Every structure is written in structure tokens, then in C-alpha cells.
Structure 1
Amino acid sequence: MKLLRYGAPGLEKPGLLDQNGTLRDLSGHVDDIAGDVLSDDGLEKLRAIDLASLPAVEGTPRLGPCVGRIGKFCCIGLNYSDHAAETGAAIPEHPILFMKANSAVVGPNDTVMMPRGSTSTDWECELGVVIGTTAKYVDKANALDHVAGYCVVNDVSERHFQNKLTGQWTKGKSCDTFGPTGPWLVTRDEVTDPQALGMYLDVNGKRMQTGNTATMIFTVAEIIEHLSALFTLHPGDVISTGTPPGVALGMKPQPIFLRKGDVMELGIDGLGVQRQDVGQDD
């Protein structure tokens, strides 16, 4: 299934994209794509619905973040061997973890607003993993059983804030609008292998990132195993699993960061496409 949320910010309704690409309203069955709806039982109840009975949504409404009421937004840094090489970083011994503030989360096509003082705003196409059932001390052999589904995340980053403002990476990762998520959550039964997904990102029509989740240093299962040994993962938690090469920070001899008026487009095999205009806070 492809589950989504549509409507004005803060007023999103739950929806589903059927096999013909028609957006259908789920609000007669669930209040949101969140919490227990993401559990195995919750997803099975949605699968049992006769899709033809769901009202078709007219027009082309705004798509919101594909997950509502996100609990934790966990991010893994330097998780692609080819990305670590382009930035000159050593291969980490354990997954590098930072958190993105939930207030950064926006819809897949919402405008990304660079904050005041931004000089080095960068792009990062990433595979998002949405937890469906509680995970604590899980083994990598069954870690994927705790996944509700997968989505596209753009881990937008202000590199000056991230690296120069003294502190953790969270400073440069959590600016408002720096977490476009969606367009939809694709349930795990439709993703045969999360370690075999092609991905890309364009800026102003120019291909910047081309990668594949096969070059992850730590697999999705290994990440869940590691994180669940540190803290409990709950339904609706999102894990952004790192980015392939091609970010501005890795450009030689000189990075070319985002500017007002730029357009980003990014996608992952089977998980849909995002498109964001870039703006600037006054």
C-alpha cells in the first residue's frame, strides 16, 4: 500500500493511493497515518478495505508528511561508503546518530526555507524507515519485522550551522522545513529489499546525486538493531538512513550550496518523487 496524508498544513487527512494512481480518502476508517495504524494489525485492517468504496479525492491537493505525529526523527550520518569518501571522513565503527527536530518536518513538495544567516544549505536524498511496532533489543535477523514501511526523506542541512556553531549536528539539521518527508509511505511488503533501491537528486534539473542503498555501511536491519539497544523505537518513529555521494559539501574544488530560487527534485525506486522550491527567511 501507498499511504499518505493530504490537505493544508496541520489539517491533513489520511489517504491511500490505489493501483490506478487515484488518491482515496481514508478518514472514514482512521484518523491519521500514525500510531497503531502503522502496526501489522493496523495495516491489515487497511488492506481489508474495498478500495472502490473509498471516496476519490478531487483535484490535486497538497501532500503533507506521510506520517503523522512522528515520535522521534532519528538520522544516521556518513552511512554510505562513497559519501564518506567524498567528504574525506573515516568509515565509522558504529552508526553515527543525530536527531532532527520534528518541527523541521514538512510535506514532500513544500518550499524549503533557508534560515536567516544561512550560507551553506545542502541537500541529502535519503531512505526513510518508519517504525510500525515497538522495537527494543531486537536482533538484525528480525529487525525489519518492526518496520511499517519506507519513504523518501530530504535531510536538508545547513553546513555552517552543523559544523561551525559549536555543538552537535542537530543545529544544522533541524531548521524549519529541513525535513521533507513523503510523498507516501510504502508498506514493507511492497519493498522486496531495502538494500537494493536506486536513488537520485537533481538541483535545477542537473543530476547531483546518484546512488543505491546497496552501498550503505550499516543496513536498515543493523541500524534498527543498534538503535533499539540504545532506546525503544515506537510506532511512528522515523529513521533517515544516510545519503549517497553528490552533496554540495563534497564538491571540489569549491562547494556550490543552495540559493533562493533553486529547485530540488529527488526520488527513490518505488517510493515516489519530491520537488521543493528553495526560499529564504527574511
Structure 2
Amino acid sequence: METLETRVAAHYTTQDLLDRIDAALSEMGVDTASVDDLKPVDEFHTGGLESTDALLSQLEITPETKVLDIGCGLGGTARHVVHRYGAHVTGVDLTPLFVEVGRALNARVHLDEAIDLHVGSATDLPMDDASFDLVSMFHVGMNIADKEHLFAEVARVLKPGGRFALFDVMRDDNAEDLQFPLPWSEKPESSFVDPATVYADAAEAVGLALHGQRYRRDFTLSYFAHVFEAIEKAGGPPPLGIHLLMGDTAGEKLKNYVANVEAHRIAPVEMIFDKP
């Protein structure tokens, strides 16, 4: 029986993904890929590595930090955290293909012992209580209808004193319908973009306290202006990029995304929560 979660997983499943990544790397002249070589495709969120570092730089991460990355995708953020901070990272994602490809990429860059990737749901995490110091989440909440259940699971797996850091696309002050398709959904039925107040209320309900929040609309528009300019100058997208994860409508999805941001219908927002 089809469920929201099977629809979301199907949305992100593309054929021969690892082969296409390999072909792109070959076209770029990369024989043995490094963590940095994979960055164009494995940071599947607004701003790529720049926005990853913008959020992580606000946190305290050491080799002893136990990190859970919700919606880990191909494991790009997990690899970055291990490579930069030396921490151990566990990732969970709904899409079996992403987890399969992510494990293969981890092995190639010799980080498979430091990263565990699992197929699973953010609202039913296959992890023990109080087992992580930090939970991260990049552009995942737009596919989760029940934010309260999400936050309850995060609160459950966080240790006392732990932190939940997220970077999600949220509703801005224009309540108009969104323009589809978008990177996270072809249709409104599987898109659940909520305002930041919904996240804050869900956190408060499970005892998580808001530590900080940052609105990233201007950064987003500047970032995509440079992306579109580079694509135009090159006569098309680079061999390796997040377009490999979005199918034939990648260009339309990104243009619609930017149009929605420009119209103040949506904007990416960082939020950091603490567990007492």
C-alpha cells in the first residue's frame, strides 16, 4: 500500500545513480574521488557546503561527539563532519537507493568505519533513547507532515544537554500556493512546508528550547544567482551536481524554488534547539 513515506522515497529514487556519479567524475578527470570531489552532488540542500558549514560552525563538535543526521541522503554531511571534526556519524534516510549509494561512497573515501547509514523514518527513528549528542537535519522537514512527532523522536534520541540543529525550507510571509514541481516534491500532496513557529511549538511541546534562529533568504537568492549565471556561461550544468538527484525536471524545480523564495512564499531558515 502506498503511503506518504513510500511516495517520498519514490520521489528521490533515480535510476543508475552511482553509475551516473561515476560517469560525471570521469568526465571531470577524477579517478579516485575524495570527500571534497563528491561535494557538488552530496550536499543536497540550498547553498551546498557553504550552508552546511554555516550551521555547523555554530556548534561544538569534537571527535567524541555522537552525531545523528536525519535525512542523510547520500551521506555528504556525514562525510563532511567526519572529515572535518573526526566525530562518529549515524545517518538515516527514507530512500534505500540513497543509503545504498552513500555506503558505497563512504567505502571509497575510507570513512565507512566512522559512518553508519540506515534506511528509516524521521518519525520512527531506529535508534536507542539518549544516544546522540547532536542531531542535524538539512532540508528534510518539507516532506514531514507531523512535525510534533519528528521533534518527539529527536528529543527521545538526544542525550541531556544535546542539541538539534536544522536548516529547512519554511513558509515565509506570503501565504500563496507554492509553484510546483520543487526539489522535494512534484505535487502539493507530499509537500509540508510550515512556518518557523510550527517548529518552535513542536520543540516546546517536547521540552526542547530554542537556542537560535537565522533567516537565510538573502543568502539563498545570492547563491542561486551565481549558480544560474555559471550554468548560463557554461551552456549547461556541470557534470556533477544535485541535478543528478532530481531527474529530467531538475532545472524547472530549481527555477520554481527560487521563484517561490523571491515571492516570499518560502525561505530557508536555520534553527538550533537545546535539550535540557
Whether TM-score is above 0.5 comes out as no
Structure with the greater relative contact order (CA < 8 A, sep ≥ 6): 1 or 2?
1
- Larger helix percent: 2
> TM-score, normalised on structure 2?
0.29
> TM-score, normalised on structure 1?
0.29
